[in-house]
């Protein structure tokens, strides 16, 4: 799937929803300020994954090795997934805390939960014969008395016919939901009809990310600068809202005809598309973290085959934030984040967003540094 892949992989009520904020003019004075930092004395680079009850879960880059640390940076657990023997893990497609325990979705064995010492304490199987096509941001969600997880692919008979495969792929719901008692499964969270993934063109994998906050579920997809809001009602997910982010100078994700899917990969070699990286629900606000991307005129100055040069360029692209109120009205866009940081999916109980110091750009250290960012509204001068 060519070099760019590693950079980007890094029953519902559906109506003809109109996107909110399509032509909205806004002006406020929000900004992010660094309020604190966490230093984790771990030599290898870590990827921050999840937080629960003041504990943070991170993964060691490139390995099936995880650590748990507290808000002071003190490492409390080191978990290595076994790669052989009776408890061998085939491949973890998603990781996080679930029911208070470190949990993964395994390639063959379903959901597996571990103690803080790395011992398997629970295995929730799902119907066999599935495959995941890329990693996901969470292993599972609770939906009433049932469990919801990202829909795996169970039927690849049309894989050689990409047009047929993707027409089906784009029209299936995002989640598979299982009854833990009967093991019956059903699909939930339909993609709304106003999504570009429903326009009949090829947009590659939709690489969904879901953020659950109380009874509200928020979904965003790789090729769109928008998010969708669903409300949980009696073990169902009801589509409520579609909210677009129309920032200046964004580079749209390319699209091509479904009969010519290979053309998309060529187009993606020419640009870096805009993309939402994170969504946070903080008190009465929703915050998006995003990149605007880079146009062909800029990208052509960098050599993709030179990995160090390309990564320096790609990771130096500025990150911005957009702030919405509880009615999904855009309050402010293009709030620039500190340069040289890596976004993480973590926000703490005090509403502080964690970002990671990018050692490639800011200098290597023998530890990992996380900065805590707080959204504040600047007082008007005078």
SS3 of residue 135 by DSSP: coil
Under the banding of pLDDT at 50, 70 and 90, the label for residue 160 is confident
Question: What's the rounded mean pLDDT across residues 196-209?
Answer: 96
Q: What is the pLDDT of residues 71-130, one digit of tens each?
A: 999 999 999 998 888 788 888 999 999 999 999 999 889 999 999 888 999 999 999 889
The pLDDT score that the predictor gives to residue 352 is 96
Determine how β-strand 141-143 pairs with β-strand 146-150: antiparallel
Residue 380 banded pLDDT, cuts 50, 70, 90 = low
Q: What pLDDT does residue 381 have?
A: 55
Q: Give the pLDDT of residue 379.
A: 65
The pLDDT, as a whole number, for residue 21 is 62
pTM: predicted TM-score of the whole model, two decimal places:
0.91
Element (H, E) at 163: helix 162-170
pLDDT tens readout for residues 242-271: 999 999 999 999 999 999 999 999 999 999
Is 129 in a helix, a strand, or coil? Answer: coil
Distance CA 369, CA 373 (A): 13
Q: What is the pLDDT of residue 107?
A: 87
Q: How far is CA 71 from the centre of its chain?
A: 23
pLDDT of residue 268: 96
Rounded Cα distance between 325 and 121, Å, is 41
- Which helix or strand (DSSP H or E) is residue 62 part of? none
Query: Which pLDDT score, from 0 to 100, does residue 27 have?
Result: 53
- Distance from C-alpha of 96 to C-alpha of 32, rounded to nearest angstrom: 27
Tell me which residue of 75, 86, 64 sits closest to 116, measured CA to CA. Answer: 75
Looking at the chain, the whole-number percentage of residues with pLDDT higher than 90 is 79
Determine the length of the chain. 382
Indicate left, alpha or beta for 82 from its phi (over 0: left) and psi (-120 to 50: alpha): beta
Q: What is the pLDDT of residue 26?
A: 54
Q: Is residue 45 scored above 70 in pLDDT?
A: yes
Write the pLDDT tens digit of every residue in 273-305: 999 999 999 999 999 999 999 999 999 999 999
* Average pLDDT, integer, range 308-312: 94
Nearest Cα residue to 104 out of 136, 76, 78:
136
Report whether pLDDT(18) > 60: no
Residue bearing the bigger pLDDT, 154 or 187: 187
């Amino acid at each position: 799937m060519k070099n760019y892949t590693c950079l980007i992989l890094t029953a519902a009520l559906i109506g003809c929803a109109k996107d909110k904020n399509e032509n909205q003019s806004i002006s406020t004075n929000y900004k992010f300020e660094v309020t604190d930092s966490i230093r984790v004395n771990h030599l290898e680079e870590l990827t921050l994954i999840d937080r629960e009850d003041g504990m943070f879960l991170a993964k060691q880059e490139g390995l099936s090795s995880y650590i748990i640390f507290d808000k002071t940076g003190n490492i409390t657990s080191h978990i290595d997934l076994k790669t052989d023997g009776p408890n061998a893990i085939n491949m973890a497609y998603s990781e996080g805390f679930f029911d208070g325990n470190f949990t993964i979705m395994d390639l063959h064995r379903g959901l597996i939960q571990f103690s803080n010492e790395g011992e398997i304490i629970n295995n929730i199987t799902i119907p066999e014969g599935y495959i995941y096509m890329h990693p996901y941001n969470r292993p599972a969600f609770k939906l009433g008395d049932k469990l919801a997880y990202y829909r795996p692919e169970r039927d690849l008979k049309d894989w050689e016919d990409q047009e047929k495969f993707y027409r089906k792929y784009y029209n299936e719901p995002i989640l598979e939901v299982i009854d833990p008692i009967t093991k019956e499964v059903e699909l939930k969270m339909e993609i709304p009809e106003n999504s570009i993934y429903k326009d009949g063109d090829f947009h590659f994998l939709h690489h969904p990310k879901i953020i659950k906050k109380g009874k509200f579920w928020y979904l965003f997809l790789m090729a769109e600068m928008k998010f969708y809001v669903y409300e949980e009602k009696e073990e169902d997910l009801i589509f409520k809202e579609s909210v677009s982010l129309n920032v200046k100078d964004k580079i749209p994700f390319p699209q091509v005809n479904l009969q010519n899917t290979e053309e998309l990969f060529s187009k993606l070699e020419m640009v870096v598309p805009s993309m939402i990286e994170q969504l946070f629900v903080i008190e009465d606000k929703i915050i998006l973290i995003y990149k605007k991307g880079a146009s062909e005129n800029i990208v052509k100055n960098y050599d993709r085959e030179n990995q160090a040069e390309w990564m320096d360029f790609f990771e130096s692209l500025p990150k911005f934030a957009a702030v919405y109120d509880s009615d999904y009205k855009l309050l402010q866009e293009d709030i620039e984040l500190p340069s040289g940081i890596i976004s993480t999916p973590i926000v703490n109980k005090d509403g502080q967003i964690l970002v990671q110091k990018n050692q490639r750009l800011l200098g290597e250290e023998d530890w990992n540094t996380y900065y805590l960012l707080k959204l504040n509204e600047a007082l008007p001068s005078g």
